[in-house]
Amino acid sequence: MTLSGRARREKGHAGERALAAKLREAFPELAGGIKRGLQAQAGGLGNADVQGLPGFHIEHKHQKKPNMKAAYEQAVRDAAGKGFPMAVVQYDGARERLCVLGLTDLCRILRAAYGYTPPLQFGAQLDLFEAPASEREAG
């Protein structure tokens, strides 16, 4: 059965709402700010599908056969260097969503999480601050 354009958009919106709810559950201290993004609500370009997780630009796809590479490339393009671009994809019928994050970004996150580098810092707009020179040179 093929879905109409409206039904596909509603499925995508429902997936974005479900992802936002899952993130609110996982990060209760941030719950007040985690929501579907303005792009999803107002057609704005460059806005994340799900907002409120500081330092991350989340592109969400819920499709029968989502293109993970295209979703990640869109996240990179839309993030414009203001946060870690991440694509979250959900295949129809799948129990778990999959996340695509660049290896360089993952290493930076893990290095900070494990204490090899100072904790990541976020600005007033919840964007990731520029990497210190020592990290930029090491990458």
pLDDT band at 139 (very low <50, low <70, confident <90, very high): very low
Q: How many domains does the chain have?
A: 1
2-to-6, 94, 110 alpha-carbon distances in Å: 12, 18, 41
Q: Which residue type, as a one-letter code, is found at position 27?
A: F
Q: Which residue type, as a one-letter code, is found at position 83?
A: G
CATH code where residue 43 lies: 3.40.1350
pLDDT, tens digit (0-9, with 9 covering 90-100), for 52-93:
998 999 999 988 899 999 999 999 999 988 889 999 999 988
Closest by CA to 37, choosing from 93, 81, 92, 75, is 75
120 inside domain: no
47 inside domain: yes
Containing structural domain, residue 74: 5-102
pTM: predicted TM-score of the whole model, two decimal places: 0.80
pLDDT, tens digit (0-9, with 9 covering 90-100), for 88-131:
999 988 889 999 999 999 999 999 999 999 888 876 555 666 55
